């Protein structure tokens, strides 16, 4: 039979995996057990609406069999099974190759890659311990079985096979032992038993194994009529997992390690969770839930491919793999399980999405998650900072969403960089360090914190001893507007004209200067035509000759944001640009002199001053060639 080749990426991956010295190869067993359990869940679910599923609830089982002589280890289930096509599609390509690609680009430099991480855990981990894997599967509803077989990266075959009942056997031909690697231990009862206990104890379906026991046998009586007892071994088929799902166990009985294990196993995660929330609710709707905040955002988190949602069970039966209705948009990173006896089993998936009970659960989970994040913020700042690095942008989007409906709830979770300490701080922490005479709470928006701190306006504010919140996400201008005020103080951009720093005298003299230069400023504006909406003098510029700011509600950063997200709408959102000139700068004096003697030269100077301001503001200049020409002429 001709061998089919794995897709090229899968092939490379398999080679990496098989050849890697991976210390946690033992996790292959939990992966196969989880797949078996999922397959049973699928058939149980099918049985809710399909009378042809005749397996009794208590007969569903997973079985582990080791044959030391044949050196095979088999994991079987009587779940939904796979058709030939499914064997081909599910096992013929590596599901998460997208993740692999991403990681290879992301950390290809650091030598030995984390194979399991790249791989996504799963069926293929069997190749870490097996030189050949045979999968015999019969899909529910089909009369025949099929056999998928592979010795690793050189390809696989699919052929016809036999199986009495629907379900799947995964048969692993365990690799020969080497001096360093004792693969044979995975055929040993003790090892297998403890691996099941360690990784798969809470799996709800029974996991059967042959367990060796000893019993006492009485020997033949001797001359005195006494019998010498002896012991003999026998095996008994036993359920080895304790089966109570983790969320059904008393809170106090579950350790952090068990939660972490559950999280990794159930949601194919590589990292420990950053936070765990347990909810046991009794009331209008009773349910139990365990929620996780992942330690790391999945590679596709901020893309359309990411599917949010919680696993939804009704009295222990999986109803939906990812029920998105249970999570608000701003916490869509959370993973976890909800199990409720109050949900009816026969409810269709569509109807379920609009269930009032789900909304009740969702709203209380939102509060619990929020409380947990606030607790983390208070109790373990380092961990919260790490969380923020992964999901801060999501929280910020949530903060902006719904025109303020989440504002008050999420305000306390926001972090911004302090210009003074260079640490991430909350608005409350900013407030606490405000000085008594501070007129505003200051912030600066741009793409780079160091550049924001170095703005001439920032220098002015910092000189007074006032801190500035440095905001570097593209949506931060909107966030600042949504925040509006912190404590009693208005949030003020350092790019604003009036930073509240000038004394009455300074203001008066500035007003006089502005008046004295009125003709010149009008000339500059006219020369620049539509490029700016207004021209004025600024007291906030230090070394720079000119700067560009905006008046009205659309800032330059917003304009940049809109032109980055939309191609068609870009024209619609434009900032009203203001050219600020520094009256203390030598170029301003030259401009004034040229205005009196040589209007042509004054016009050129005005254009160059405007272009310089545009360049500094990062909005780009419309006609670079003209700028170069004019600048060259002037020099
Ligand atoms: P994952 O389980 O994370 O999706 P795997 O590589 O472990 O990734 O498995 C790929 C797919 O193969 C599964 O999603 C499932 O559809 C199918 N599969 C694996 N094992 C079984 C099984 N024992 N019974 C039925 N289907 C299975």
Encoded tokens for 351 = 């109807």
Q: Is the Cβ atom of 99 under 6 angstroms away from ligand 1? A: no
Regarding whether 286 and 188 lie in a shared domain, the answer is no
Contact (CB, 8 A) for 139 and 86: yes
Pick the atom of ligand 1 nearest to 80's CA.
25
Asked whether residue 107 is assigned to any structural domain, the reply reads: yes
- Which residue's CA is the nearest one to ligand 1's atom 23? 36
Q: What is the pLDDT of residue 23?
A: 52
Regarding whether 13 and 138 lie in a shared domain, the answer is yes
Q: Is the Cβ atom of 268 under 6 angstroms away from ligand 1? A: yes
Q: Is the Cβ atom of 14 under 6 angstroms away from ligand 1? A: no
Mean pLDDT per 10-residue section of the chain, whose length is 635 residues: 69 63 73 90 89 92 97 98 92 50 40 40 83 96 95 87 97 94 94 89 91 86 78 93 89 91 86 95 92 94 92 78 91 95 60 73 96 97 96 95 87 97 96 93 92 88 95 91 90 87 84 89 92 88 85 80 65 83 92 93 93 85 86 87
- Which CATH number fits the domain that encloses residue 48? 3.30.565.10
Encoded tokens for 58 = 């208590």
Q: How many CB atoms lie within 10 A of CB 631?
A: 14
Enter the pTM of the model. Answer: 0.69
Regarding whether 199 and 50 lie in a shared domain, the answer is yes
Q: List the domain range (segments joined by +) for residue 351.
A: 246-380
Query: How remote is the CA of residue 25 from the centroid of ligand 1, in Å?
Result: 18
Encoded tokens for 485 = 């005020």
Give 158's strand partners: 148
Query: How remote is the CA of residue 120 from the centroid of ligand 1, in Å?
Result: 12
Q: Three-class SS of residue 492?
A: strand
By CB atoms closer than 10 A (0-12, 13-18, 19+), residue 436 is exposed
Query: Which residue matches tokens 């797949």?
Result: 35
Q: Is the Cβ atom of 377 under 6 angstroms away from ligand 1? A: no
Point out the domain boundary residue: 188, 211, 234.
Answer: 211
Regarding whether 258 and 179 lie in a shared domain, the answer is no
Q: Please state the domain count of the chain.
A: 3
Query: How remote is the CA of residue 96 from the centroid of ligand 1, in Å?
Result: 12
Q: Is the Cβ atom of 462 under 6 angstroms away from ligand 1? A: no
Regarding whether 269 and 124 lie in a shared domain, the answer is no
- Which residue's CA is the nearest one to ligand 1's atom 20? 35
Query: How remote is the CA of residue 87 from the centroid of ligand 1, in Å?
Result: 9
- Which stretches does DSSP call E strand in 477-612? 485-486, 489-493, 534-537, 546-551, 576-581
Asked whether residue 472 is assigned to any structural domain, the reply reads: no
573 backbone φψ class: left, alpha, beta (φ>0; ψ -120 to 50): beta
Regarding whether 128 and 18 lie in a shared domain, the answer is yes
Asked whether residue 495 is assigned to any structural domain, the reply reads: no
Digit-coded pLDDT (tens) for 71-122 = 999 999 999 999 999 998 888 665 433 334 333 444 433 433 344 444 445 7
Asked whether residue 237 is assigned to any structural domain, the reply reads: no
Asked whether residue 323 is assigned to any structural domain, the reply reads: yes
Q: Three-class SS of residue 418?
A: strand
- Which residue's CA is the nearest one to ligand 1's atom 16? 90
Regarding whether 317 and 183 lie in a shared domain, the answer is no
Asked whether residue 326 is assigned to any structural domain, the reply reads: yes
Regarding whether 250 and 200 lie in a shared domain, the answer is no
- Which CATH number fits the domain that encloses residue 546? 1.20.120.790
Q: Is the Cβ atom of 399 under 6 angstroms away from ligand 1? A: no
Digit-coded pLDDT (tens) for 421-460 = 999 999 999 999 999 999 999 999 988 999 899 888 898 8
Regarding whether 261 and 201 lie in a shared domain, the answer is no
Query: How remote is the CA of residue 127 from the centroid of ligand 1, in Å?
Result: 15
Regarding whether 262 and 188 lie in a shared domain, the answer is no
Cα distance between residue 475 and residue 394, in whole Å: 11
292 backbone dihedrals φ, ψ, rounded to 5°: -130, 140
Q: Is the Cβ atom of 39 under 6 angstroms away from ligand 1? A: yes
Convert 596-629 to b/e letters by CB count within 10 Å (16 or more is b).
eeeeebbbbbbbbbbbbbbebbebebeeeeebee
């Amino acid at each position: 039979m001709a061998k089919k080749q794995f897709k090229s990426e899968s092939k490379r991956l398999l080679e990496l995996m098989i050849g890697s010295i991976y210390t946690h190869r033992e996790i292959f067993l939990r992966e196969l057990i989880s797949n078996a359990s999922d397959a049973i869940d699928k058939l149980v679910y099918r049985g809710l609406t399909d009378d042809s599923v005749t397996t009794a609830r208590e007969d569903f089982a997973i079985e582990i069999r080791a044959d030391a002589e044949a050196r095979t280890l088999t994991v079987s289930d009587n779940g939904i099974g796979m058709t030939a096509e499914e064997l081909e599609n599910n096992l013929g390509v590596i599901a998460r190759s997208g993740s692999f690609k991403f990681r290879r680009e992301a950390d290809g430099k650091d030598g030995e890659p984390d194979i399991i991480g790249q791989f996504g855990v799963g069926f293929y981990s069997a190749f870490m311990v097996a030189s050949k894997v045979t999968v015999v599967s019969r899909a529910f509803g089909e009369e025949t079985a099929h056999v998928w077989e592979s010795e690793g990266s050189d390809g696989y075959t699919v052929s016809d096979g036999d199986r009495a009942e629907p379900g799947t056997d995964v048969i692993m031909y365990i690799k020969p032992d080497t001096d360093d690697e004792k693969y044979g231990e995975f055929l040993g009862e003790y090892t297998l038993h403890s691996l099941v206990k360690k990784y798969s104890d809470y799996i709800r379906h029974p996991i059967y194994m042959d367990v060796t026991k000893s019993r006492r046998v009485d020997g033949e009586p001797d001359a005195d009529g006494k019998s010498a007892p002896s012991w003999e071994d026998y095996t008994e088929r036993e359920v080895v997992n304790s089966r109570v799902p983790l969320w059904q166990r008393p809170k106090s009985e579950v350790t952090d390690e068990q939660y972490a294990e559950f999280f990794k196993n159930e949601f194919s995660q590589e990292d420990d969770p950053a936070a765990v929330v347990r909810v046991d609710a009794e009331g209008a709707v009773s349910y139990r839930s365990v929620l996780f905040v992942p330690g790391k955002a999945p590679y596709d988190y901020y893309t359309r491919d990411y599917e949010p949602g919680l696993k939804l069970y009704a009295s222990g039966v999986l109803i939906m793999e990812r029920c998105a209705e249970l999570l608000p948009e701003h916490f869509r990173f959370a993973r976890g399980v909800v199990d409720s006896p109050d949900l009816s089993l026969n409810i269709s998936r569509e109807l379920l999405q609009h269930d009032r009970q789900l909304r009740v659960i969702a709203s209380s989970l939102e509060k619990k998650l929020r409380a947990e994040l606030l607790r983390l913020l208070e109790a373990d700042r380092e961990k919260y900072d790490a969380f923020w690095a992964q999901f801060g942008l999501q929280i910020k989007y949530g903060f902006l969403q719904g025109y303020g409906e989440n504002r008050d709830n999420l305000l306390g979770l926001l972090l911004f960089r302090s210009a003074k300490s260079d640490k991430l701080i909350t608005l409350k922490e900013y407030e606490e360090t405000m000085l008594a005479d501070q007129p505003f709470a200051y912030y600066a928006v741009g793409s780079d914190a160091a550049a924001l701190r170095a703005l001439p306006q920032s220098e002015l504010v910092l000189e007074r001893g006032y801190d500035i919140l440095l905001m570097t996400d593209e949506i931060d201008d909107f966030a600042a507007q949504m925040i509006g005020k912190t404590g009693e103080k208005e949030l003020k951009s350092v790019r604003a004209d009036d930073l509240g720093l000038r004394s009455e005298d300074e203001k008066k003299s500035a007003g006089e200067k502005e008046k004295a230069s009125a003709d010149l400023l009008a000339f500059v504006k006219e020369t620049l035509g539509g490029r700016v909406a207004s021209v004025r003098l600024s007291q906030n510029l230090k070394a720079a000759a000119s700067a560009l700011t905006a008046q009205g509600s659309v800032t330059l950063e917003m304009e940049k944001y809109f032109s980055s997200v939309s191609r068609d709408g870009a024209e619609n959102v434009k900032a009203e640009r203001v050219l600020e000139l520094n009256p203390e700068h030598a170029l301003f004096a030259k401009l004034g002199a040229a205005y009196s003697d040589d209007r042509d030269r004054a016009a050129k100077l005005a254009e160059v001053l405007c272009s310089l301001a545009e360049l500094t503001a990062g909005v780009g200049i419309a006609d670079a060639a003209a700028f170069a020409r004019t600048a060259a002429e002037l020099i």
